[in-house]
Every structure is written in C-alpha cells, then in structure tokens.
Structure 1
C-alpha cells in the first residue's frame, strides 16, 4: 500500500530517479544531463532546482509536476533514451515566489547551485561542466525566507519518536522553529498524541518509516495528511541521540540541559539530524531544548479545537476566530507568542497570575501602555533576521533589522524604567537591557540609512565608516575628478600649464606634454626618476609615474574592490550579530512578551473585560459573560448589543465537585453561543488574559472538552452520529473532576428513544463518574427530571416570549426548564411553506395528545398523511361542481358583451350560494 504523503510513491509519468541513474542512461546523456541525473538520484522525493545561469531549471518528471503546480510553460530540451526531455524553469531572482507556491502544495525542493566559477570549468576543457551541488533542501518545516513565512505564525518542524521498552511504547515530540531558534520537547501518549500535535500545529512532522506505516497510528497520520513525512529509522536511534545533540551544541555532556527521557532524546536528535540534513553545513542558532510537561498546559482535544475555532474557523479562515478577536499585537513575535499562549493555556495559577499582573499594571498606567505600543511598532522580527544571518542567507536589511531592534529596545527600556512594573515586565526589562551596547554602536557606525535587499548590490556601508572604502568609491564614482586633481598637481609641480593626463586602450593613463615643454620632466635625474618616459610622438612626449600607474590599477579594480570591502564588512557584522545570538533572542522574546501584555491590556480597555480570579479550586462562577467573537462581530455589523449571561458551575457548598447545568430552550435561542462562550472564557483566563465578563472566578481546568455542532467523517466510514458518539466516548472516558465539559444535543442523530436513552446515561455518567463541571444542552425535555435525583445537576433555559403567534428570542439564560422547543416557529422563520407549517402544528398537537406508548399508531388512524393530498382526493370523488357545469355550457363566441357580463354575475351569485 502507498500513501499520498509518502515521497517514495510519487507518480512517475516520465522517468523515475531510479531509471535516470542507470548506466544506460548515463551512457546516452550529455555531460550536463549526466550531472543532473546523478544529483537527482541522490535527492529522491524532492524537486531539483538545477542552477543554469540566471535560472533554476527542472527536467523530466520534476518539470511535469512543477509546471502543473506553478502554472508555467512546459518545454523540452533535447532527447533522452528516445524521449523528449520535459523542462521548465524559474528565474533565480524570483525563486522565492515559486518556492512558496510549491511548499504550500506540499512539495520539497532541493536547491542545486553552481559551486565553481565557469572560468575555472573552462580550464578543464571547452566541454567541461561547471561543478554543481545541492546546497539546501527546502521543506515546509525548514524555511526561513520572509516571503515564505507569515510574520504572525510560527513555523515548526516536529519530530515524533517512539521507543519500545517491554511495556507500553514511549512516545515523545520535539519541535523546532528554525526561523526563531525555539526548541522544545514533551512526552506524550497514544491517546493524546494527535491533540498534542495539533496544539503545536507543525508545518512538517517527521517520523520513522516504521511508525508512519504502523496501523495503530494510521488515524493520526491520515488526519495530518501531507504534514507527516516518513524518514529512515536511523535518524531516531536513541543510542546515538546524546552524542548527536552534544556535537550540535559543542558540549561534552547534556547534564546542564536538564533531564530528558530516552524518547525525548530520540525526538530531539531526529529533529537536529533533519535540520543538518536540510541545511547542510550551516547551523541555525537553536536554543537549548526546553522540556514541557503535559500537566503544565490545558489539554484540549482535536474535536474541541475544531469546534471552538481558536486559531482558524472550520472553513480554514482566520477571520471569525478567537485569535483574531484577541490580537492587538503590533510585532510579528508578539503575534506568534499570543497564538502560542492561546493554543497552550496554563494550569499553574501562579504563572497565570504573573501574566494578569502585567495587564493590570499597564491598565493602571495608560500613558505608559500607549508609549510602549508606539515604541513596539518599530520593533522588527529580530529572531528571523538572526536565523537568516546564521544560515548565510541574510542580507543587509537583516542587519538593519537587528539595528532597528536594538534602537527600539533602548526606547522600550527607557519607558519601562519610568513605570511601576509587574514581575513579568521587570524580567523583560532585564532581558532587553542585556543587549550589548557595542552591537548597536557598531551597526550604527557601519550601516547606511538606506539598505539594499541583496548584499551583492553593495552600497550598504555608511560613508566614512572605512577610509579605504571611501577612497575606492571615490575612484569608482569620481575617477575623472581624481585624474583632474592629479593633473593639476603635476602641472603645478613641473610648471607646465599645458600638461594633460590622457587615456587610450594601449597605454592606459599617461601624461602628455609638447616636445618643447618636456624639459622639466627630463632635465635632471630626479625628474627622470619621477616621470617615466613611455612614448615620443612627432609633436609630443608621453610619460607616466608610479602614482599614476597605481591609480590606474585602482580605478580599473575600484568597483570590484568596493564590493569586496563591503562583503568583508558584511561578514564581520554578521559574525558579531551571531556571537550575540543568545542576547538578541532573549531581548526579542522579552519584547514579544511586552507586546502581548500591552495588546491584551488594550483589548481589555477597549472591550470592557475584567480580570478573572484563577486558583486551584473547582469554582466556575461567571457574571455577565459574553462571547468575545460574536460580541465584536455584532458591534461591527450593527448597533445590536450582545446579551450577557452568567454561569455558575461552582460546588454547591463552596467545596467539592463542580455543578452541571442542563440547558433547554429553542433553536436560535442562543444555546450554542452560551456554551462556547464559557469554554472560551476558561481558555482566555488560563492563557493569562482578561475575560469578557463583569466578574469571573475559575478554578483551574485541566481538560476542556467541547462537543458542539454536527459533522461527519465519510472518508473513514463515519456518519454524523458515529462521529458524535466517538467524540462523546472520548469525553466520558477522559474527563476528570477538574475538567470542563461542553455538550450540545447528544443523541439527536438516532431514533428518539435511543437518543434520549444515550443522553440520559451520559448525563448520569458525567455527574457520578467524571464528577466534572459541565454544560449539557438538549432538546430532550424529559432529562430535566434528573435534577430531582442528581444533587449537582441544575436546570437552565434560554428565555423566549411569544407575541401574536411569533416567538421572540431573548438570548437570556435563566433557571428552569423549557416547556417546548419552538421548532415550528423557527421553521416558519426559515421560510417553510405556510401549508407545511400549518400541517406541522396539526401533527404536533396530535403527537402531544397521543398515547405515549405508541403515538404513531394512533396517528395513522387519526390523521391523514398530508392534508393537501386528501383535499385533492376528496375533490376528485365529488365530481364537477355546479359552477363548473355552468361554465361548460357557456359559449363566449356567441355572446354579446352584455350577455357575457350577465353570465359572469350569475356565476358569481351561484358560487356564493355553493
């Protein structure tokens, strides 16, 4: 069996890499194509960008796939084994744009560059091929270019390692953002593996090929799709893991890094091996691996993440998500940190309080908050610029980003020193102040105000920064002026006013005087030593000097020398930046932390959010709660005010297990909004944000489950009801007494009594087995009687009003139970035909009066199947009416207008009497 995301299973319409590598292929290939075939054979599973001058060319099957994916013309270049060789290409200067399209479509690209000067190749013979080699593998998880990365999103490469040691297999994850240097580890289990992967949301997941094809993990691999990529098992060897990690960081032991399990070491080693495999000799500035504990973050299962639309909607859009509603950051690093906090809320009350303290401090100092926000707008993405410089892919603007970042950091430091700081802000201040002043001073002294994109363009070193560079630039840009100045000096020195410095292709630069005026240049030994005779003409003599010869050489090489000096300066500045990598990353993270705090303070002020109390209790008391996304949408679209509602799932006695609310009420009454808003408030509180409520007291939630909405999974043979049951089973099997469970309409996808029975049993299990805090919305009004025997279960309902047969949804939650669901009224609002609505009312009335044991059996006798059909049938049995008989007897062609009018009045009278 093959899989779509298995690189070894690519469709081979033209020639496979194996076919290309055969001896027969080599014997019939041109030298250049032979080189291509060899390099391609060493890089299976990747499109080969083969550098030819100013283009990256692709051949054979690579060309076919790339032309289709990029929408570019497929051409051909010669023949191979009797077949035309498909070919397409992309310009080198625009390669990033094409790489972005290929990476988004799941391709991996091997970039093959010319690694020697063409002039050197010609020395080996006129038919010699320029040496080429792959210098980099571009994959979704290892990109660093600005054009390929979203400023507000992380780009993680993740490795999954599995270690078998007798009992249950040990699983661990390691994830790296090569563009920022973040490196983290965590152990996991099969039951929570997918949830942990989706929490991190990697761009690429590597795993051993044996794990990839393991039937037990196929559901995870299938869910991830192209993100999961199999790799040779040797990358995940735990025996050599410590040595590989130690070599990468240049240490003899990992004892100083903390304690890691075998599985974590294997995952970390695999991630590093993959980075080395794709980046070749370059090493990104990865931070020391940080270990995360699963207990330190709120567990949110995959279905809940999808239902709550935290960072993307179910259609894949960012608009309409909680992240979009919360994001007030002004830096790329801040936006990424906010998303990370949202995806991984904390379970430690002290760490949460530290984040909330920062928001409180900034709200208490609005001017400081506003000034910080303004200063942060000038902070560029220093970690990504640092990564590109470390990998040799940086340009002058990356150096400029580091400089701008250090300048902005200085402004932030001055502002923070003037304010009253929380502990978190104080630590951030210390980190930012740790940036060495020498770095900023050196970059300021060396870099121009206007910087080119590419270092090869030159012009990025400031005038006055290098005496030699200034001289060379003067020669390059003002050679005529320099020659004129030298000519003036020689004329004054010799007293020959007619002395000229000229140029031709044979002599180069030379001094020319008339034969009669040459005496001062030939009369003495000193003169002859200074002015070296070159040529005698009929009426003139030509000389040179050592100074002029040197100047000629300098002018000829000025442009090349100027660029060489600038490139040397670039390398020196890059090395300086890389040496300070740890200080730069620490300062950048601190600036991101401040950006998040300032953004959340701005959000709280703008939207009227309150500071939640988050502690180790099992409280869940929210007053005036609102849905953060819906509320903002209503404000943008109209003047409608969101109706706030409270929710109290706290223990009845103040201690012990939390409560469960059984929520009834009509469709469109706001049940789903109410359910989701309480889940979102819990997430916001535990990520360290103020919340949309007048007050909130939340005891730490260890696991959050939300089953809201209907979906199917037809690819895996699961109906909507089956998906509902699978997700419900996961909740009932995993929820603890500290969990928060949100369930909507359990049991609706099957027969009425089956569904009611399942919902009944689920409520009892949540109450007696899981003993969690929960909201359970249902249309099974029969469940409300459970509040009489389940002590922690309370009934709540969405309030409505009826007016002239219409239903008005108040969107208010109150105690009690709904007496009906108002489904027919909602159907009428949806536009069902009036006859259908009327018929539905009639059927409902009969159902409510029928024998509960078998109401349908009575309906067969008591009600016709459909009133419209019955009336049509009765009409057919009765035959034509008297009016119809009278109409048939009329002949309009034989009637005068007056007779026709009399007949019409007679018919009308007869119809009235019928």
Structure 2
C-alpha cells in the first residue's frame, strides 16, 4: 500500500485495518460502508460491486467499493458464508459535531462461527469450536452464540478431534496452539475450516467451572476470549459451561451418520429422506434444534431413555390433550435465540411482542400437562416458568402495531408513560389548534384567503398576498418577504409550533429511552428465559415423538439385560414412508445371546442394505427415547455403531473407495467393543476378488474371535458362507428370491441359510442393459462356472478359504512357479508385459 500524502481519514482507515488484517473492513462513511485497497478489489469481485477509486487523479489512486449501510447485512452474510471475516467500523460521534476526523472504531467482527444476526440464519445450531492440547491429550470446547450454549470435553487423539469437529459441523476452529503441516492440511484444506489463532485465556469463574481439568479450562478460556474479542460487548446470555464425555452418548462418526441419512439425505443433502425428516413433527424452532441434537447424540443411560419413553407413552395415551398441546405450541417463538438478541442489543419491538405471546401461551401449556396428571410430567411442569411479571410489562408497554425500527416512534402503548401521552396529545391536537387559529384570524382580519403553511426554514407562518397587506393585524410580525407575498407569525402560533415540534422530537427520543429501559429489564430474565426455552423444546420434541409413533405405527422398545436382539417385523421407517406402507416388506432381526454375527448373502438390489440400516435406525430411535418401527423390539443398549455401507471415495483427501473402506473397517476393528453394533456391506469389493475375499474373511474372524460385537456382514462372496462351520457365533441368512421360467423376483425377505447365487445379470437386466450384452454376459458366466468346476472337481475338496490358499491353478504348475519367482514390485511396465507374454506362451 502507498501511504505517502495520505489524508487523515485514510490514515484512520489504515490504522484500523492494521489491527484486523485477516478481515474485510467495512468503514462507515455517511450512508455507506466503504472498502479500500485489496479489500475493495476482492469484495467487488465476490459481491459484484462497482470498483471505483479514491483520488482518481493521483499517481496511485486508491481502489474503493461501497455498500449502503441499510443493506449491508446481506453483503456481510455473503462474505461470511464464503468463509471470510468481516470487521465493522462505525462512526462513534455525530459528524456535525465532530472536530476534525470523525472518530471510528470496530464495533463487531463477524466470522463464520459467530454469526448471530443474519438474513440467512435458520433454526440449526452454528457451533464455534476451539481446540487445545497438553501433551498427547486434546481438549475441545464449543459454543453456539445464537443460544449461549457452552460445552467442553477431552479427547484422546487428533483423529477423535477431527471426528468430533465433523460431527459438530463446525465452520470455524479457534486454535490455542500452532498446527503441524499435516494437521493444517487436514483441518484447513480437507475439512475446509476457517482457522483462527487465540493464545490468550479469559478468566470467568461464573461460566467456566473451576473443577475442570487444566487443559479443559484453558481451551474454554481461549474460546471465551476469542468470542469477547470479536463481539466486543458483554454477552449476558452465555450459559455456564457443560462438560461431557463422548462415551456419554451412542458413538457414531460422521461417515456413519451420513450413511444412515440421519440429519440429511446423503445423496441430495436435503432434509427430505432423512430420519430427521421422518421424526420432525415439532412446532417450534427450539424443538427442531433439540430434535436434531437428540438424533445426533442418542443416549446410553437407560434411566434417561426410559424417562423420555414414559412421557412419549403418556402423550400417546392422551390424544385430546396432545392435540391441545400441539395448538398451544404453535404460538411459541424462538425465545432461546431472542435471549441472545437481547444480550447483543439487537432486540426489536417485534421480538418483544413474540416473547410476550410465548409467555402468554405458557400457562395454557402448563395447564394441559397438569390436566394429563401423570407423575412423569412433574419435572417438565415445574420447569414451565411463565414469568408473569415480564409478560405483564411487555403487554402493557409495547404497541401490537409497533414499527420494525426503534428510532421512529409509535412503539410504546398509550397509557404506559404520562409524559409520552402528553406529547402525543400535543401532536394529535396541534393540527386542530392550527386550523382553529387560521379560521379565527381569517374572520377577524377579513383576509378571506389567509392560511397557515409550514416549511423547515420558517416553521409555521401566515401566508398573506401583497393585495391583502393593508389588512394585516397589528399582532402579526413579519418572518419573510417574497415577491408576491409576505410570511407572518404570531406569539400564539409560535407557542403552538414550539409545543408541536418539541412533542415530535421529544416523543421519538422518549420512546427510544423507554424501549431501552424495557430491553434492559428483559435482560435480567435471560437465565429464566433459557430454562423455559429448554423445557418448551423438550415438551415439543416428546410430543413430536408421540405424533410420529401414532402416524407411523411405532411400538415401545424393551431393553434387554442380555445381548439379545429380537425385532419382529422391523421396518426402515424412512424407506417405508417414501414407498408407502403397502409396498414395504418388513423383516425380523433375531440374534440371540450366542449369535453375534449374521453373514448376509443375496442379490444386489434385493434389500440387504435396507435390512442392515433398518436395525441401526431402530437402535438409534430406541436410544433417543423414541418408539420404533416394528411389531415388537427387544434390543440391548449399544455404546457405538460402526458402518461401512455404500461405495464412496474421498477425492479431496486422496483416498480411493477401497482405502475409505479399509479406514472405516479399521476404525470398527480398533474401537468397537462387545457392546457395539457393526454393519459392513460388501466389504472388500474395492480390490481384486481374492484380495477382497481374504480381507473380508480375516475381518469377520477378528470381530468374531476378539471383539464379539453384534455384526451384520453383507457380502457377495458366497465362498464365505462356509465360515459358519468354524465360527460358532456366526449364522448365515439370505434374501429370498423366486425364480420361475427364467424370471427372477426379489422377495426382500430375510431367510435362514446362505444364498445359492448372486443374480447379478438379472440386476443388469433390470437396469436396462441391451439384450445382446446380457446374453453375452450369461454365456461368459457359464464358461467361467465350467472352468471353476474343472479346477475344483471334488465337492469334498477343502474350500479355497479354509485351506488358507487362494490358488487359481493346480499346485506345482510351472506357470505358478514362474509367477512366484517374479519380483513384480521392482519391474518396469515393459518388463512386466514381457513377463506376462512369456507366461501366456507357457500356458
């Protein structure tokens, strides 16, 4: 930047910009926020603004772009949405009264993790996450500024950190230490997080519990420091920190949640087609957020699960009361986020009206729960604090037709403040007083066209044309002379004018002052409002569970002390809702205490994946406290779910489909316990047949022999079905098919025993491949099957897998010997081709 011969105003800009080099600086100048230098060039491109320049005739004109102050929020939202920070510098004094350069200062820095007042804000949480470590131990803290929620936990390694950050769907990470290059590549590049460094620690014994471990206190303090440094205000809505352990909830990594379509449809990224879509019968934004949290983090504490189940059962049994409750909840607004707006000083009259309406609905909600009269509702009823004094204050003070702004008046009810009422009387009746005066002076002076006018320069005045100047009364005094007329005033007119102008100016100021006092009073109730919000959200989610149970014909699950799974006619509720109940084929899942693993075979597209997902969804719904889609369900409480379902790669991380498969398999093998649920679908298909089959068998054996987790393992490797002879806790099941006259029908029904074949060509036929191609494939298949029969002529010969040898040919064949001698890892491509040609020649 060129700083020579810079104006005082631009020097002020450069000084402020130097303090915020990593943010776009919006510099308030009159009715615009201006950007200069590189900020202007980049913002003009991103926001499609006109790029101009300051000092156009100078040797080095300064690039400049601007946005109107009243429309700035949408531009700020766009920049933040793209992962940028925005520093907002306001004028701190009235330009008319300023001596020299108007004082300016940054009043807020908006970042992806600290968005509160956004045109794009929805009902979902926006977590700002902080990370620190002490030795090999990591601590993670996160906060949602829109609600004030504040959490902290400890994690064992960096992989666990990445998993938790992904689960929180964070967009910004506050770092208390310098990352290694590898960590930078993962967090910054692969996970696309905005990384912000914070080395200072904020001390706050009111929010940060002294009993936390040192590293937990440090990371929470750094997060709090960063929030105060960017928001530049007291945040009275921040809640006391809550410590949690990952093991307090059903553990599922981001890939598992995505593969099960919990919060969004994995294919479309939309709500439709997800478990959240199925379960969402909430009526409030607070309930919607809490529902997402419960889906994301099912419980492992049986007592807490049963508490939720009991209330769902009560709501399910109380149809009429539940209907009334649903109607009452429709009048409940997002008071959790309203509390943050109060804390940020951004509350508008409509916010307070919504708060009053919500508080007004609480007694009705409480009365409905009391009418149900069940012990399980006692805690919720006690938490429904209607705060009657706050409701009374807002109802008495705020006009139901209040304007959207707080600076233009008409927001305070008549009768609330005596002085304001007096001003309004003057403004309302002053017009009548002027009309009466005009009529009186016209009659007494005899000037028939005498009238009172108004302009900003002269105020109110009598307008007298030159032809009537001889009739002007003595008590008139001249205010201005025009070409064809004169303007006069009187003491009486001046008095009324003074009263009206004073009333107009002072009433707006007084309304603003009254509103500010009310807002300060509301701020005193933030803690009670947040507690009320949690209770209302809980009621909303539990009534939603009851509604879904009724609509989808769900049953209350039982939790077994043993590790038995017994689900009779279970269903995948999302698939069933999309397809329609008449088209969906239910399936039972039964694994007794001695059966840990099912090996599932059957055609592609026959329903293996749906069967597996069905069990996972039932487990998740059960541990959320919801009822489940089955005729009856007895399940244990699981500590974790591990999945590998569907083929997917991770090109950004440079990982192939098979590498992703192996990484997810590794996670399950290393982290699963005997209380976990593992779902593996077609594991090993991403590599050569015998490589994949060998890995699949080894993984099955390891889970069976060393982990003992309940496992559903779907495979197209039919050779693996012989494992039930060796592995005591494994059983074969398959998806039934009906074959008649060359036509195959998938029955989508799970039956005992292994499948007889894969029907891959039939699936290709369903997909619409050309008939000639299908006939050719069928011919090739028959030839391959003949060759296979020749290689293994005896049915009594040991299987390829149980023999520990994956040989294609008869032992001691000269080609085998030659192949074994090849050093393939040190051959050039040409040498490999020549060697292959020689082997072919030998055959």
Retained in 2: the 8 A contact 1:621–1:696? yes
Residue 544 of structure 1: how far off its partner (Å): 6.8
Retained in 2: the 8 A contact 1:192–1:301? no
Deviations 1:33-72 (A, max 9, x none): 2222221111111111111222222222212222222233
Deviations 1:481-526 (A, max 9, x none): 14457899999xxx9999x99788779679x9x999999xxxxxxx
Distance in 1, matches of 2:163 and 2:637, equals: 19
Q: How does 1:389-408 map to 2 (within 5 A)?
A: 389-408=342-361
Deviations 1:150-198 (A, max 9, x none): 12x011111112123xxxx221111111111111111112142222222
1:751 aligns with 2:688: yes
Query: Greater CA deviation, 67-76 or 577-586?
Result: 67-76
Retained in 1: the 8 A contact 2:566–2:591? yes
- Residue 157 of structure 1 is matched in structure 2 by 128
Residue 102 of structure 1: how far off its partner (Å): 1.6
- Residue 563 of structure 1 is matched in structure 2 by 508
Query: Greater CA deviation, 384-393 or 808-817?
Result: 384-393
- Residue 826 of structure 2 is matched in structure 1 by none
- Residue 714 of structure 2 is matched in structure 1 by 777
Distance in 2, matches of 1:137 and 1:777, equals: 51
Retained in 2: the 8 A contact 1:180–1:384? yes
Retained in 2: the 8 A contact 1:354–1:422? no
Q: 1:140 pairs with 112, 115, 122, which one?
A: 112
- Residue 799 of structure 2 is matched in structure 1 by none
Deviations 1:459-499 (A, max 9, x none): 111122222212222333442214457899999xxx9999x
- Residue 904 of structure 1 is matched in structure 2 by none
Retained in 1: the 8 A contact 2:363–2:386? no
1:290 aligns with 2:290: no
1:96 aligns with 2:36: no
Match of 1:602, SS state, is helix
Deviations 1:231-275 (A, max 9, x none): 14x23x5xxx5xx123x75xxxx6xx4721112111211111111
Retained in 1: the 8 A contact 2:559–2:635? yes
Distance in 1, matches of 2:551 and 2:144, equals: 33
- Residue 296 of structure 2 is matched in structure 1 by 343
C-alpha change, 1:851 and 1:435, in structure 2 (3 Å) is same
1:443 aligns with 2:402: no
- Residue 649 of structure 2 is matched in structure 1 by 712
Distance in 2, matches of 1:202 and 1:616, equals: 37
- When the two chains are superposed, the root-mean-square deviation of aligned CA atoms in Å is 3.3
Distance in 2, matches of 1:842 and 1:435, equals: 76
- Residue 314 of structure 1 is matched in structure 2 by 266
Distance in 2, matches of 1:632 and 1:369, equals: 23
Q: 2:583 pairs with 641, 645, 651, which one?
A: 641
Retained in 1: the 8 A contact 2:427–2:504? yes
Q: 1:723 pairs with 660, 670, 689, which one?
A: 660
Retained in 2: the 8 A contact 1:386–1:402? no
Q: 1:620 pairs with 548, 552, 565, which one?
A: 565
Residue 446 of structure 1: how far off its partner (Å): 0.6
- Residue 197 of structure 2 is matched in structure 1 by 231
Deviations 1:803-839 (A, max 9, x none): 2212111111111110110111111222222232222
- Residue 574 of structure 1 is matched in structure 2 by 519
Residue 691 of structure 1: how far off its partner (Å): 1.2
C-alpha change, 1:422 and 1:548, in structure 2 (3 Å) is farther
1:75 aligns with 2:52: yes
Residue 146 of structure 1: how far off its partner (Å): 5.1
Match of 1:714, SS state, is coil
Match of 1:837, SS state, is helix
Distance in 2, matches of 1:220 and 1:795, equals: 42
- Residue 419 of structure 1 is matched in structure 2 by 372
Deviations 1:557-598 (A, max 9, x none): 322211111111111111111101111111111111111011
1:850 aligns with 2:790: yes
Distance in 1, matches of 2:88 and 2:236, equals: 18
Corresponding residue pairs, total: 783
1:192 aligns with 2:153: no
Retained in 1: the 8 A contact 2:460–2:493? no
Larger radius of gyration: 1
Deviations 1:678-727 (A, max 9, x none): 11111111111111111112211101101011122233332211221111
- Residue 831 of structure 2 is matched in structure 1 by none
C-alpha change, 1:716 and 1:478, in structure 2 (3 Å) is same
C-alpha change, 1:506 and 1:832, in structure 2 (3 Å) is closer
Distance in 1, matches of 2:352 and 2:477, equals: 49
Retained in 1: the 8 A contact 2:109–2:230? yes
C-alpha change, 1:763 and 1:507, in structure 2 (3 Å) is closer
Structure with bigger helix share is 1
Distance in 2, matches of 1:170 and 1:185, equals: 14
Distance in 2, matches of 1:93 and 1:230, equals: 29
Distance in 2, matches of 1:516 and 1:842, equals: 119
- Residue 385 of structure 1 is matched in structure 2 by 338
Distance in 2, matches of 1:50 and 1:648, equals: 66
- Residue 277 of structure 1 is matched in structure 2 by 229
C-alpha change, 1:94 and 1:616, in structure 2 (3 Å) is farther
Match of 1:455, SS state, is coil
Distance in 2, matches of 1:427 and 1:99, equals: 43
Match of 2:233, SS state, is coil
- Residue 836 of structure 1 is matched in structure 2 by 773
Residue 603 of structure 1: how far off its partner (Å): 0.8
- Residue 528 of structure 1 is matched in structure 2 by none
Deviations 1:370-401 (A, max 9, x none): 11111111111112122112111221112122
The unaligned stretches of length 5 or more in structure 1 are 1-19, 520-531, 537-541, 653-657, 859-914
Residue 771 of structure 1: how far off its partner (Å): 0.7
Retained in 2: the 8 A contact 1:29–1:80? no
Distance in 2, matches of 1:487 and 1:421, equals: 73
Distance in 1, matches of 2:186 and 2:776, equals: 46
Match of 1:192, SS state, is helix
Residue 213 of structure 1: how far off its partner (Å): 3.4
Q: 2:410 pairs with 459, 482, 486, which one?
A: 459
Q: 1:480 pairs with 401, 406, 431, which one?
A: 431
1:66 aligns with 2:43: yes
C-alpha change, 1:507 and 1:426, in structure 2 (3 Å) is closer
1:553 aligns with 2:498: yes
Retained in 2: the 8 A contact 1:161–1:172? yes
Q: How does 1:692-711 map to 2 (within 5 A)?
A: 692-711=629-648
Distance in 1, matches of 2:526 and 2:647, equals: 49
Retained in 2: the 8 A contact 1:282–1:392? no
Retained in 2: the 8 A contact 1:386–1:398? no
- Residue 604 of structure 2 is matched in structure 1 by 667
Query: Greater CA deviation, 681-690 or 824-833?
Result: 824-833
- Residue 16 of structure 1 is matched in structure 2 by none
Distance in 2, matches of 1:669 and 1:708, equals: 15
Report the TM-score, using the length of structure 1 for normalisation.
Answer: 0.80
Retained in 1: the 8 A contact 2:430–2:496? no
C-alpha change, 1:27 and 1:798, in structure 2 (3 Å) is same
- Residue 8 of structure 2 is matched in structure 1 by 31
Residue 857 of structure 1: how far off its partner (Å): 10
Distance in 1, matches of 2:596 and 2:59, equals: 77
Q: 1:793 pairs with 730, 753, 757, which one?
A: 730
Retained in 1: the 8 A contact 2:190–2:652? no
- Residue 814 of structure 2 is matched in structure 1 by none
C-alpha change, 1:471 and 1:213, in structure 2 (3 Å) is farther
Retained in 2: the 8 A contact 1:740–1:773? yes
